[in-house]
Structure 1
Amino acid sequence: MISNLSELLAVAPEEIDVNEPFSRLGLDSAAAVGLIGDLEHLLGRSLSPTLAYDHPTISDLARHLGGEGK
């Protein structure tokens, strides 16, 4: 996910803080929906297009997708 996001935002992966909100990283709504679409493809399952708003950081989203915090 970090590599996808770094490519999308044109920044080095090490510049991405997994606890920083997506909006502060520069991810707009269209890019967030695209990122979730990429995750759907990668994970092979349907995901809500609002997932990046419901879980606004990489670490929060990863915990949710991993089944923690349900």
Structure 2
Amino acid sequence: MTQSIVPIFGEQNFYPRPIQEKISMAIQNQEIAVETHKNQSAIQGWLVSYIAQLLEIDPKEVDVKASFDRYGLDSSATIGLTSDLENWLGGSIDPTITYDYPSIESLSKHLAGS
């Protein structure tokens, strides 16, 4: 008896159980990786949007190489930024990270692991 290879659709699972479990686990692992790891471009875009909204300026006016100080962000504003960034990334970030990585570009590179 031969088994046909048919994709999993809806409630019908045509693969043998061990293969179904491997497929399910692979899909879950891929989704987790996509959800938990943001690339530099995504982080940079989030930071640009955040600064633009905070300062009520057009995102095109935000220079990713400029320091956070240039935008007038004091320590309480940068702590708010890191807190919101933590929530978005789903991980813990040192609230003083903007001192070590003082621009959008350097911070996004660091957080993305680039």
Structure-1-length-normalised TM-score: 0.91
- Cα distance in 1 for residues equivalent to 2:98 and 2:51: 12
**Aligned AA for 1:10?**
E
**Could you list the runs of 4 or more consecutive aligned residues of structure 1 that deviate by over 3 angstroms after TM superposition?**
none
Q: How many residues align?
A: 68
- The question of 1:17 aligning with 2:63 is answered yes
Which stretch of structure 1 is more off in the superposition, 9-18 or 39-48? 9-18
Give 1:62's aligned residue.
108
8 Å CA contact retained: 1:6, 1:12:
yes
Higher RCO (CA-CA < 8 Å; seq separation 6+)? 1
**Aligned AA for 2:74?**
D
**What is the CA RMSD across the aligned residues, in angstroms?**
0.8
Question: Structure 1: any 5+ residue segments left out of the alignment?
Answer: none
**Aligned AA for 1:59?**
E
- The question of 1:26 aligning with 2:69 is answered no
Structure-2-length-normalised TM-score: 0.58
Q: 1:53 aligns with which of 99, 102, 110?
A: 99
- Cα distance in 2 for residues equivalent to 1:10 and 1:29: 19
Identity over aligned pairs, percent = 47
